[in-house]
Amino acid sequence: MATGAFVQIKPLAGTLAAQAVVRTGVLASGAGKICGIDVGSTTCKYVLVAEDGEILAKSYERHNTKQAEKVLDFLTRLEGEYGLTTECDRVFFTGSGAGLIAPLVGGKIIQEVVAVAAAVEKMHPGVRFVSEIGGEDMKTIFFNGNENNKSKQVLMQAACSGGTGTFIEKTARKLEIPPEKLAQMRYAGYTLHKVSSKCGIFAEADANTLLKAGVPVEEIIASLFEAVVYQNLATLTRGNTPVPEILLLGGPNLFFRGLQEAWRRSRRRRPASWGGSWWVAISGRRRRRQCACHRKRNCCIPATR
């Protein structure tokens, strides 16, 4: 279902803590169940589906740096509660930790961007732009063309954690904000301040400076959400313009209410139909504000020149 320019997906209940899984019955061994496991940098997720695509079970849990142990816990749980059987059912792995774990359990690896793109095309064919923010990386996918001739462009940032979930949580820990409170903190209605979006260390330093200056933590977190959206759009668009419908994926986009609000505000600030002309206009406006003598005639020379 689309609301405005965004696609709304019903989230898993609760927070990033272990999700309760409702048992819907055990299929007979060899019924062709398929299990998808995402071994991420901070969390692990699984979805178990029947041969006809019906979802039987799913879970989203932190692994606390113990990826292999969490995957073993998943498989043991699925084997005992849902009859997952070797040599009858299939297991597919994706995520940053899949490369080491999948061969040990006889699973097949699907590159995570390929998995995301395939899922979006299947479940949300009208989506034109995808932003996935993970624990330590970010990905964007642009879909162009129509159903008969669709192309996609993938951009990924994995060399730095700036603008990712870890980026947000480390700064929040510095401000002594518990995860439960962080998930509910808002963006709308707060004064924004300059917070570095390129580096987690710089962001922590900026947050500490603002805190010492008496800035409320609510305003600092709102500014942090703004920095995440800016980093995503500044580094992972490469001249492309995100247009509706837009799909936000990944833990931070799902669990942080303020980050969702920041994305919606960014859409209002940057009308998709204007594209590059919007950037030219706003750039010229900023140059005029810096002008040393713009009150004289039509001069618009930056003061720093």
Instruction: List the domain boundaries for the chain.
Output: 11-110, 126-269
Q: Are strands 90-94 and 108-109 parallel, antiparallel or unpaired?
A: parallel
Q: In this predicted structure, what is the pLDDT of residue 267?
A: 78
Run means of pLDDT, 10 residues per run, the chain, 305 residues? 53 43 42 89 93 91 94 96 90 93 93 90 91 87 83 78 80 91 94 86 89 95 93 84 89 92 79 35 39 42 36
CA distance 19 to 191: 34
Report the SS3 class of residue 87.
Answer: coil
Q: For residue 181, how many other CB atoms are within 10 A of its CB?
A: 12
Write down the H helix ranges in the chain: 67-82, 98-105, 112-123, 165-174, 179-184, 200-212, 217-235, 251-255, 257-269, 276-289
The residues, any chain, with a CB within 8 Å of residue 222's CB and separated by 6 or more, are 185, 186, 187, 190, 191, 192, 258, 262
What is the token pair recorded at 171?
A: 């700064």
The model's pTM is: 0.72
Please state which CATH number belongs to domain 126-269.
3.30.420.40
Report the SS3 class of residue 256.
Answer: coil
Q: In this predicted structure, what is the pLDDT of residue 2?
A: 52
Report the SS3 class of residue 28.
Answer: coil
Q: For residue 300, how many other CB atoms are within 10 A of its CB?
A: 14
What is the token pair recorded at 277?
A: 């002309």
Q: In this predicted structure, what is the pLDDT of residue 101?
A: 95
Say whether 126-269 and 11-110 share the same fold. yes
| Nearest residue to 256 via CA among 133, 173, 157, 82 | 133
CA distance 25 to 30: 15
Does the domain at 11-110 match CATH 3.40.50.2300? Answer given as: no
Q: In this predicted structure, what is the pLDDT of residue 232?
A: 86
Q: In this predicted structure, what is the pLDDT of residue 7?
A: 53
Reported for 49-58, long-range contacts at CB under 8 A and 24+ positions apart, including other chains, are 56/24, 56/25, 56/27, 56/82, 57/21, 57/22, 57/23, 57/24, 57/81, 57/82, 58/12, 58/19, 58/21
CA atoms within 13 A on the CB side of 96: 16
Q: In this predicted structure, what is the pLDDT of residue 17?
A: 42
Backbone angles phi, psi at 287, to 5 degrees: -65, -40
Residues in the chain: 305
Q: How far is CA 17 from CA 9, 39, 43, 80, in A?
A: 19, 16, 10, 22
Q: In this predicted structure, what is the pLDDT of residue 197?
A: 79
